Amino acid sequence: MPDMDSLRGMVDLLRDKIGSGVIVLGSGNTTGEKVNLVAAVTRDLLKRGLHAGKLVKEVAAVIGGGGGGRPDLAQAGGKDLSRLDEALERAFRVVESQLK
């Protein structure tokens, strides 16, 4: 399972390739005791009100964690790996609400 540094590296690579978008990646450790999340927003979407720090904070709440960061890049941690899929699904709704 990727650690936080690996997730940040993946986000950087994906952000460079997609040009415009929002990326949210999550991973748990092998024991299922810790969940890592990383979110990134491309610069063009920052102007539309998207904020990676606010996004990851809301998504992390689903997995019993918290986090935050800059508008373009943020990270979080949590404890409930069983809810990671639910947390990643929540990211879609959070992005929609930030765009309104």
Domain that holds residue 35: 4-99
Going by pLDDT thresholds of 50, 70 and 90, the confidence category of residue 32 is: low
Q: What total number of domains does the chain contain? A: 1
| Position 29 pLDDT exceeds 90 | no
Average pLDDT (68-83) is 95
Write phi, then psi, for 22 (nearest 5 degrees): -125, 135
Residue range 56-67, pLDDT digits in tens: 999 999 999 999
Report how far apart, in Å, the C-alpha atoms of 44 and of each of 12, 39, 54, 93 are.
Answer: 15, 15, 17, 20
Going by pLDDT thresholds of 50, 70 and 90, the confidence category of residue 81 is: very high
> What percent of the chain shows pLDDT beyond 90?
87
CATH number at 52 reads 3.10.310.40
Average pLDDT (25-46) is 91
